[in-house]
Structure 1
């Protein structure tokens, strides 16, 4: 059996037309099923997907300049809330401060990360296991990647200030 990944249908069909018809029928059935999902089921699915994306990110030694923390934060908030200001209210921060963190105009404070950790524990409670340290790991993994990928900028100047006077 050969599986055609484009359609998600195997090669047991006698014609390309039959295969395409079955693929269309399968997609229609999936869409019909998705339309019947409750808002709660959709939120849970989005949260599970986000958790898996974050775990995958943490497994990879990525050294690029993408803003994963802020992207994950946006996905998290937008999965649960229709307005980001409601999230800001729930964690007791000013909406402007949240916007600055999301848009990388300000680094999140330690208290922000703590509140995010607690909020996530509550949000994921009935979805799946979500480790307390995940947001911290994502944030600091990004910082490490950013520092390592920008060595050509900071290293020459810093290296001038570092010496080894002890004999080894």
Structure 2
């Protein structure tokens, strides 16, 4: 049931986001669009409430409970930038806004961008781990929350891999702009 709710929340995120942007730009209803976009975080509250109710009702934590915490943590960390990303594209396409800002592709600017994204990932990790720890304390039964402890390790491993293969790699081995054969440079 919880996995289905997580999928439903992800679908609802994109539906509300799209509805908000369509109202804001093609329909020229900025207040309605703003209200729909402000409702996007409510989806996370529904998932949080359902997870708490399930665990408080005596459920043993499963993979889905850990996934819910991870989803919520990374939604908090990346939700705003995802909305901004989509808003830039809609503004450009439907309201004559400037072209969307593209992330840097080369050199130190790319390394800084990778560090910034990893920092957001660490915020997501911190929120997810805080939710996992709160659920462990809330349930108060080590047998029922063993899976939640495992999730802390999984998320930490993912973040360590992200650190090594992206920000550190781009800092140590920055991708260089290809030489243009036409200019001889």
Where on the TM-score scale, by shorter chain, does this alignment land: which range?
0.3 to 0.5
Larger CA Rg, structure 1 vs 2:
1
* TM-score normalised to structure 2 length: 0.32
* TM-score normalised to structure 1 length: 0.34
Compare the two structures and name the one with the higher helix fraction. 2
